[in-house]
Amino acid sequence: MLALGLAVALFVFAIPAITTRNQTAIQQGAATLSEGSAVDRAHDIARSGPILLPDQAGGQRDILLQHLGASPGEGWYAFDARKPGRPRSCTLRWNAAARHFDDPCGGASVPADGSGLVHYKVTVTRDGELVIDLNPNDETSGGGAGGTTTSSSSTSSTVHMTGTTP
Protein backbone atom coordinates (compact mmCIF):
# COMPACT_ATOMS: atom_id res chain seq x y z
CA MET A 1 0.00 0.00 0.00
CA LEU A 2 2.88 2.33 0.85
CA ALA A 3 4.59 1.56 -2.49
CA LEU A 4 1.35 2.31 -4.36
CA GLY A 5 1.02 5.64 -2.52
CA LEU A 6 4.61 6.58 -3.41
CA ALA A 7 4.06 5.65 -7.06
CA VAL A 8 0.93 7.82 -7.25
CA ALA A 9 2.74 10.73 -5.58
CA LEU A 10 5.61 10.36 -8.06
CA PHE A 11 3.27 10.56 -11.09
CA VAL A 12 1.14 13.36 -9.66
CA PHE A 13 3.83 15.68 -8.28
CA ALA A 14 7.40 14.80 -9.23
CA ILE A 15 7.17 14.00 -12.95
CA PRO A 16 5.11 17.10 -13.92
CA ALA A 17 7.51 19.31 -11.93
CA ILE A 18 10.54 17.85 -13.72
CA THR A 19 9.04 18.09 -17.23
CA THR A 20 7.85 21.71 -16.86
CA ARG A 21 10.92 23.11 -15.10
CA ASN A 22 12.92 23.82 -18.26
CA GLN A 23 10.11 25.12 -20.44
CA THR A 24 9.84 28.74 -21.50
CA ALA A 25 6.40 30.26 -21.86
CA ILE A 26 5.58 33.29 -23.94
CA GLN A 27 2.93 35.43 -22.38
CA GLN A 28 -0.02 36.16 -24.69
CA GLY A 29 -1.47 39.63 -24.93
CA ALA A 30 0.15 42.92 -25.84
CA ALA A 31 3.55 41.48 -26.77
CA THR A 32 5.72 44.00 -28.56
CA LEU A 33 9.07 44.08 -30.26
CA SER A 34 11.31 47.14 -29.97
CA GLU A 35 13.41 47.80 -33.05
CA GLY A 36 15.36 50.73 -31.60
CA SER A 37 15.56 54.17 -33.13
CA ALA A 38 13.07 54.93 -35.91
CA VAL A 39 15.67 57.24 -37.47
CA ASP A 40 18.29 54.46 -37.54
CA ARG A 41 15.87 51.87 -38.98
CA ALA A 42 14.67 54.34 -41.65
CA HIS A 43 18.30 54.88 -42.71
CA ASP A 44 18.93 51.11 -42.73
CA ILE A 45 15.90 50.48 -44.96
CA ALA A 46 16.76 53.36 -47.30
CA ARG A 47 20.26 51.90 -47.72
CA SER A 48 19.58 48.14 -47.79
CA GLY A 49 15.84 47.59 -48.21
CA PRO A 50 13.16 46.25 -45.85
CA ILE A 51 14.31 44.39 -42.73
CA LEU A 52 13.43 40.72 -42.21
CA LEU A 53 12.65 40.05 -38.55
CA PRO A 54 12.84 36.27 -37.94
CA ASP A 55 10.35 34.78 -35.51
CA GLN A 56 12.11 34.94 -32.14
CA ALA A 57 10.27 31.87 -30.88
CA GLY A 58 11.57 29.72 -33.75
CA GLY A 59 8.16 29.47 -35.35
CA GLN A 60 6.97 30.45 -38.77
CA ARG A 61 5.87 34.07 -38.10
CA ASP A 62 8.68 36.03 -39.73
CA ILE A 63 7.89 39.73 -40.25
CA LEU A 64 9.09 42.30 -42.76
CA LEU A 65 9.62 45.86 -41.54
CA GLN A 66 9.19 48.49 -44.25
CA HIS A 67 9.47 52.29 -44.23
CA LEU A 68 7.75 54.28 -46.98
CA GLY A 69 7.26 57.60 -45.18
CA ALA A 70 8.72 61.02 -45.84
CA SER A 71 10.08 61.15 -42.28
CA PRO A 72 11.17 58.54 -39.71
CA GLY A 73 8.02 59.22 -37.66
CA GLU A 74 5.58 58.04 -40.33
CA GLY A 75 5.00 55.50 -43.09
CA TRP A 76 6.01 52.33 -41.23
CA TYR A 77 4.65 48.91 -42.15
CA ALA A 78 5.19 45.52 -40.51
CA PHE A 79 3.65 42.46 -42.15
CA ASP A 80 4.03 38.71 -42.63
CA ALA A 81 7.11 37.83 -44.68
CA ARG A 82 5.28 35.14 -46.66
CA LYS A 83 1.91 34.62 -48.24
CA PRO A 84 -0.44 32.51 -46.06
CA GLY A 85 0.41 28.83 -45.94
CA ARG A 86 3.80 29.19 -47.63
CA PRO A 87 6.96 27.58 -46.16
CA ARG A 88 10.00 29.60 -45.07
CA SER A 89 11.64 28.93 -48.42
CA CYS A 90 8.96 31.23 -49.90
CA THR A 91 9.94 34.31 -47.88
CA LEU A 92 9.31 37.39 -50.00
CA ARG A 93 12.35 39.11 -51.53
CA TRP A 94 12.65 42.86 -52.03
CA ASN A 95 13.01 43.91 -55.67
CA ALA A 96 14.52 47.42 -55.31
CA ALA A 97 14.35 48.22 -59.02
CA ALA A 98 10.63 47.41 -59.26
CA ARG A 99 9.86 48.65 -55.70
CA HIS A 100 7.86 45.57 -54.75
CA PHE A 101 8.40 42.13 -53.20
CA ASP A 102 8.87 39.07 -55.39
CA ASP A 103 7.45 35.71 -54.35
CA PRO A 104 10.25 33.15 -54.93
CA CYS A 105 7.65 30.38 -55.14
CA GLY A 106 6.13 31.70 -58.35
CA GLY A 107 3.27 33.75 -56.98
CA ALA A 108 2.31 37.29 -57.90
CA SER A 109 4.44 40.15 -56.58
CA VAL A 110 3.44 41.96 -53.38
CA PRO A 111 3.26 45.79 -53.15
CA ALA A 112 5.92 47.62 -51.12
CA ASP A 113 3.43 48.20 -48.27
CA GLY A 114 2.60 44.48 -47.99
CA SER A 115 -1.02 44.93 -49.10
CA GLY A 116 -2.89 41.65 -48.90
CA LEU A 117 -0.75 40.24 -46.08
CA VAL A 118 -1.38 40.22 -42.33
CA HIS A 119 -0.11 43.50 -40.82
CA TYR A 120 1.16 44.40 -37.35
CA LYS A 121 0.72 47.81 -35.73
CA VAL A 122 3.89 49.94 -35.72
CA THR A 123 4.30 52.76 -33.21
CA VAL A 124 6.93 55.46 -32.98
CA THR A 125 7.11 56.65 -29.38
CA ARG A 126 7.66 60.26 -28.39
CA ASP A 127 11.31 59.29 -27.76
CA GLY A 128 11.63 58.07 -31.37
CA GLU A 129 11.64 54.35 -30.55
CA LEU A 130 10.10 52.01 -33.11
CA VAL A 131 7.79 49.41 -31.55
CA ILE A 132 5.90 46.60 -33.32
CA ASP A 133 2.80 45.06 -31.74
CA LEU A 134 3.16 41.32 -32.42
CA ASN A 135 -0.59 40.77 -32.29
CA PRO A 136 -1.85 40.73 -35.90
CA ASN A 137 -4.15 43.57 -36.96
CA ASP A 138 -7.56 42.67 -38.33
CA GLU A 139 -6.66 44.54 -41.51
CA THR A 140 -4.52 43.11 -44.30
CA SER A 141 -3.55 46.50 -45.72
CA GLY A 142 -1.38 49.21 -44.27
CA GLY A 143 -3.63 52.04 -45.47
CA GLY A 144 -2.73 55.20 -47.32
CA ALA A 145 -0.49 56.91 -44.77
CA GLY A 146 1.26 53.84 -43.47
CA GLY A 147 0.64 51.65 -40.50
CA THR A 148 2.42 54.00 -38.10
CA THR A 149 0.95 55.30 -34.88
CA THR A 150 2.71 58.04 -32.96
CA SER A 151 2.57 57.40 -29.24
CA SER A 152 2.34 60.13 -26.64
CA SER A 153 4.00 57.80 -24.19
CA SER A 154 7.75 57.62 -23.82
CA THR A 155 7.67 54.04 -22.65
CA SER A 156 6.98 50.74 -24.32
CA SER A 157 6.48 47.16 -23.25
CA THR A 158 8.46 44.16 -24.39
CA VAL A 159 7.93 40.45 -24.87
CA HIS A 160 7.95 38.88 -21.41
CA MET A 161 9.29 35.37 -21.01
CA THR A 162 8.92 33.25 -17.91
CA GLY A 163 10.52 30.04 -16.80
CA THR A 164 14.06 28.79 -16.71
CA THR A 165 16.38 27.52 -19.38
CA PRO A 166 18.60 24.46 -19.10
Q: Summarize pLDDT for 4-61 with one digit per residue, the tens.
A: 766 666 566 655 555 544 444 444 544 889 999 999 999 999 999 999 999 877 677 8
Q: How far apart are the C-alpha atoms of 90 and 108, rounded to whole Å?
A: 12
- Of 104, 135, 108, 96, the residue nearest 119 (C-alpha): 135
As a whole number, mean pLDDT of residues 108-120 equals 96
Q: How far apart are the C-alpha atoms of 146 and 1, rounded to whole Å?
A: 69
- H or E element in which residue 53 lies: strand 51-53
143 pLDDT above the threshold of 50:
no
As a whole number, mean pLDDT of residues 146-160 equals 44
pLDDT at res. 12: 62
pLDDT at res. 59: 72
Residue 3 — pLDDT band, cuts 50, 70, 90?
A: confident
CATH number assigned to the domain comprising residue 129: 2.102.10.10
Number of domains in the chain: 1
- State which residues form the domain around 94: 30-161
- Of 136, 98, 160, 124, the residue nearest 37 (C-alpha): 124
Q: What angle do CA 161, 53, 42 make, to 5 degrees?
A: 120
As a whole number, mean pLDDT of residues 112-136 equals 95
pLDDT at res. 25: 43
Name the residue type at position 95: N
The answer as to whether 19 is a domain residue is no
pLDDT at res. 9: 63
Q: How far apart are the C-alpha atoms of 144 and 157, rounded to whole Å?
A: 27
The answer as to whether 13 is a domain residue is no
pLDDT at res. 166: 44
